[in-house]
Amino acid sequence: MDTKTILLTLTYLVGAGELILAIYFWATHSKSEIRKVIALLAFSTGIWVVLSAATSYISYSSFGYLLMALVYIFGLILITTLLYLILIMPFPLLKFDKIHKLLMYFPVLIFGFMLIYSKTIIESFTGSATLVGKIIGGPLYGLYNFYLVLIFLTSVVLAFARIKKLDGIHKRNMVILIWSVILGGTPAIILYLIFPIVAPSININDLIGVIPSFIWVGGVTYIALKK
């Protein structure tokens, strides 16, 4: 079994596990906002993981482009949902009504529209026998990357800031969440967004950055089940 087959197998297993957790948390949310957000986080992460694996053996075509666009859309959904979770755990920093939620996810709608109906973010991509399809960015590719990294860093900084106002089990849970986010998200940020820009000649399979996503989903799951 070659390296790519092993990575693909692990990636699909991780994605399937995250989707199962999403179903579990949605089925048991009992009107709990935190559990509903965890369900969305696990679902969007699972879809992102599965689509990342799927695009590793699909050549450029209209269908292949759509799958790659969905990878980027769900990547932004999961990062936005991560920020949302940190804003409401263990209690909301502010009242989240429908307007607040719409404003939070509005950039996802804008970027999603551009990804699907234009080539301003992804112009094309190339595949190979050993690597996930490599992106050929459009004029707004850098803007998308900047926004995603900004939301990721904002989530981490906000989580650190919230620790100072928590104690006991709530403080412990936030520490677990921070380390889960850092360990689970940093590899994907580096391999998907930073390496293609600063070191395009380095060939590393991007799935290596996708698989650690089980760390943040696992960390959130542990927190929710131990409450």
DSSP sequence for 159-227: HHHHHTT--HHHHHHHHHHHHHHHHHHHHHIIIIIIHHHH-TT----THHHHTTHHHHHHHHHHHHHH-
Phi-psi region of 170 (alpha: psi -120 to 50; beta: other; left: phi over 0): alpha
Domain that holds residue 145: 3-226
Predicted TM-score of the model (pTM):
0.89
Place of tokens 């009992």: 30
Does 73 or 92 have the greater pLDDT score? 73
Question: How many residues does the structure list for the chain?
Answer: 227
Report the pLDDT value the prediction gives residue 77, as an integer from 0 to 100.
96
CATH number (domain holding residue 15): 1.20.1070.10
The answer to whether the Cα torsion of 65, 79, 47, 175 is positive or negative is positive
* Total number of domains in the chain: 1
Q: What is the pLDDT of residues 133-160, one digit of tens each?
A: 677 888 999 899 999 999 999 999 999 9
Distance (Å, whole) CA 132 – CA 180: 25
